[in-house]
Chains A and B, each alone.
Chain A
Amino acid sequence: MTTTTTEALSATTLLRFATAGSVDDGKSTLVGRLLHDSKSVLTDQLEAVERASASRGQDGPDLALLTDGLRAEREQGITIDVAYRYFATPRRRFILADTPGHVQYTRNMVTGASTAELTVVLVDARNGVVEQTRRHAAIAALLRVPHVVLTVNKMDLVDYQESVFAAIAEEFTAYATELGVPAVTAIPISALTGDNVVEPSAHMDWYGGPTVLEYLETVPVSHDLSHCHARLPVQYVIRPQTAEHPDYRGYAGQIAAGSFRVGEEVTVLPSGRTTRISGIDLLGAPVDVAWTTQSVTVLLQDDIDVSRGDLIVPSKDAPATTQDVEATVCHVADQPLTVGHRVLLKHGTRTVKAVVRDIPSRLTLDDLSLHPHPGRLVANDIGRVKIRTAEPLPVDSYADSRRTGSFILIDPSDGTTLTAGMVGESFAAPEPVKNASEEEGWDF
Chain B
Amino acid sequence: MTTVAEVTGGEEGTAGPYALSHLDALESEAVHIFREVAGEFENPVILFSGGKDSIVMLHLALKAFAPAPVPFSLLHVDTGHNFPEVLEYRDRVVAAHGLRLHVASVQDYIDRGVLKERPDGTRNPLQTLPLTEKIQSEKFDAVFGGGRRDEEKARAKERVFSLRDEFSQWDPRRQRPELWNLYNGRHAPGEHVRVFPLSNWTELDVWQYIAREGIELPEIYFAHEREVFRRAGMWLTAGEWGGPKDTETTEKRLVRYRTVGDMSCTGAVDSDATTLDAVITEIAASRLTERGATRADDKLSEAAMEDRKREGYF
Q: B100 near A: Cβ within 8 Å?
A: no
Chain A residues whose CB sits within 8 angstroms of the CB of B18 once the complex forms: 222-223, 225, 259, 291-292
Which single member of B7, B22, B35, B199 contacts A93 (CB below 8 Å)? B22
A14 close to B32 (CB less than 8 A):
no
* Contact between chains at B202 and A88 (CB < 8 Å): yes
Q: Is the CB of B181 within 8 A of A436?
A: no
What residues of chain A lie closer than 8 Å to B200, measured between beta carbons? 84, 86, 95
B277–A295 touching, CB < 8 Å: no
Enumerate A1-39 residues with CB–CB distance to B below 8 Å: 1-3, 5-6, 9-14
Contacts A10-B212, A71-B306, A259-B18 known; A84 to B156 CB distance under 8 Å? Answer: yes
- Chain A residues near B19 (CB, 8 Å)? 13, 220-222
List of B residues within 8 angstroms of A281 by Cβ: 66
Interface flag for A157 (CB, 8 Å): no
B276 to chain A, nearest CB (A): 6
Which of B29, B172, B205 is A293 in contact with, Cβ under 8 Å? Answer: B29
Q: Is B292 an interface residue (CB 8 A)?
A: yes
Q: Find out whether the CB atom of B184 lies under 8 angstroms from the CB atom of A293.
A: no
Nearest-neighbour CB distance to chain A for B151, whole angstroms, equals: 10
Say which residue of A1, A5, A235, A238 sits within 8 Å of B68 (CB atoms): A238
Bound form: Cα–Cα A19–B292 in Å: 27
**Which residues does chain A contribute within 8 Å of B22, judged by CB atoms?**
10, 12-14, 92-93
Knowing A43-B288, A110-B179, A222-B8, the reply to whether A295 touches B28 (Cβ < 8 A) is yes
Q: Which chain A positions have C-beta within 8 A of B157?
A: 69-70, 81-83
> Which of B122-130, B222-230, B279-287 makes up part of the contact surface?
B279-287
B25, A14: Cβ atoms closer than 8 Å: yes
| CB-defined contacts of A240 to chain B, threshold 8 Å | 67-69
A8 to B208 CA separation, bound complex (whole angstroms) = 11
B residues within 8 A CB of A115?
A: 180-181
- Asked if A44 is at the interface of the complex by the 8 Å CB criterion, the answer is yes
Cβ-neighbour of B5 out of A183, A220, A414 (below 8 A): A183
Chain A residue nearest in CB terms to B9: A220
- Tell me if B184 and A415 are in contact (CB < 8 A): yes
Size class of B's contact patch? Answer: 35 or more
Bound state CA distance, A276 and B268, in angstroms?
55
Please state if B8 and A220 are interface contacts (CB–CB under 8 Å). Answer: yes
B281 to chain A, nearest CB (A): 6
Q: How far is the CB of A160 from chain B (nearest CB, A)?
A: 28
**How many residue pairs bridge A and B at CB < 8 Å?**
291
- Assess whether A71 is in contact with B303, with CB atoms less than 8 Å apart: yes
Also in contact, A2 and B212, with CB within 8 A (given A240-B67, A283-B31, A420-B179) = yes
Tell me which residues from 406 to 436 in chain A have a Cβ below 8 Å from any Cβ of chain B.
406-408, 410, 414-417, 420, 433, 436
Residues of B within 8 A of A93 (CB): 22, 202, 205
B203-249 at interface with A (beta carbon < 8 Å): 204-205, 208, 211-212, 214
Q: A274 in the interface, Cβ–Cβ < 8 Å?
A: no
Report the minimal beta-carbon distance from A343 to chain B, rounded to whole angstroms. 12
Q: Is A91 an interface residue (CB 8 A)?
A: yes
Cβ–Cβ contact B306 & A1, under 8 A: no
Contacts of B2 in A (CB 8 A): 144, 180, 182, 399-400, 433, 436, 439
A294 at the interface (CB under 8 A from B): yes
Query: With A43-B288, A69-B154 in contact, is A107–B177 under 8 Å at CB?
Result: yes
- Say yes or no: B211 contacts A294, CB within 8 Å: no
> Across the interface, do B179 and A284 meet the contact criterion of CB distance under 8 Å?
no
Measured between alpha carbons, how far is A281 from B16 in the docked complex, in Å?
Answer: 22
CB of A415 within 8 A of CB of B3, answer: no
Please state if B21 and A10 are interface contacts (CB–CB under 8 Å). yes
Question: What are the residues of chain A within 8 A of B111 when measuring CB–CB?
Answer: none
Return the contact of A114 from the options B1, B173, B179, B288 (Cβ within 8 A).
Answer: B179
Q: Which residues of B contact A72 (CB under 8 A)?
A: 172-173
The contact string, 1 if C-beta is below 8 Å from chain A, for chain B 19-37, is: 1111111111101100110
Chain A stretch 283-323: residues in CB contact (< 8 A) with chain B = 283-284, 291-295, 308
Q: Which residues of A contact B300 (CB under 8 A)?
A: none
| Candidate in A71, A180, A259, A410 with the most chain B CB atoms within 10 angstroms | A71
- Whether the Cβ atoms of B149 and A236 lie closer than 8 Å is no
The reply to whether B179 and A218 contact each other, CB–CB distance below 8 Å, is: no
Interface residues of B in 255-307 (CB under 8 A from A): 275-277, 280-281, 284, 286-289, 292-293, 302-303, 306-307
Supposing A44-B288, A410-B186 touch, asked if A111 and B154 sit within 8 A by C-beta, the answer is no
Q: For residue B172, which residues in chain A have a CB less than 8 angstroms away from its CB?
A: 70, 72, 80-81
State whether the Cβ of B163 lies closer than 8 Å to any Cβ in chain A. Answer: yes
Give the complex CA separation of A202 and B22 in angstroms.
33
Report how far A253 CA is from B32 CA in the complex, Å. 7
Chain B nearest CB, measured from A14 CB (Å):
4
In chain A, what residue has the closest Cβ to B287?
A43
Q: Is the CB of A283 within 8 A of B27?
A: yes
How close is B291's CB to chain A, nearest CB, in angstroms? 8
Residue on A nearest B209 in the bound complex, by CB: A10
Q: How far is the CA of A180 from the CA of B177 in the complex (A)?
A: 26
**B22 nearest CB across to chain A (Å):** 4
Q: In the complex, which of the residues B3, B68, B149 contacts A227, with contact meaning CB atoms closer than 8 Å? A: B3
Confirm or deny: B188 has a beta carbon within 8 angstroms of a beta carbon on chain A: yes
Find out whether the CB atom of B16 lies under 8 angstroms from the CB atom of A44.
no
Residues of A close to B288: CB separation below 8 A? 42-44
How far, in whole Å, are A70 and B18 apart by their CA atoms in the complex?
Answer: 38
State the CA gap A293–B240 with chains docked (Å): 49
Give the CA-CA distance A436 to B22 in the complex, in Å.
Answer: 29
Residues of B within 8 A of A259 (CB): 18
Within 8 Å of chain A (Cβ to Cβ): is B182?
yes
A108 within 8 A of B: yes
- Restricting to A371-423, which residues have a CB under 8 Å from any CB of B? 399-403, 406-408, 410, 414-417, 420
Task: Indicate if the CB atoms of A403 and B208 lie closer than 8 Å.
Answer: no
- Check A367 for interface membership: any CB of B closer than 8 A: no
Of the listed residues A82, A239, A242, A439, the one surrounded by the most CB atoms of chain B closer than 10 A to its CB is A82
Counting chain A CB atoms within 10 Å of each CB, which of B18, B175, B202 scores highest?
B18
Query: Is A271 an interface residue, CB under 8 A from the partner?
Result: no
Contact pick for B4, options A6, A13, A146, A407, CB 8 Å: A146
A224 at interface (Cβ–Cβ under 8 A)?
yes
Is B39 engaged at the interface, CB distance under 8 Å to the other chain? yes
17 additional A-B pairs beyond A83-B157, A144-B4, beta carbons within 8 Å, are: A1-B211, A2-B211, A13-B21, A44-B293, A70-B306, A81-B173, A82-B157, A85-B150, A86-B149, A283-B31, A291-B18, A295-B27, A344-B186, A400-B2, A402-B4, A408-B182, A415-B186
A-B complex: 4 closest residue pairs judged by Cβ atoms:
A415-B186, A222-B16, A44-B292, A220-B10
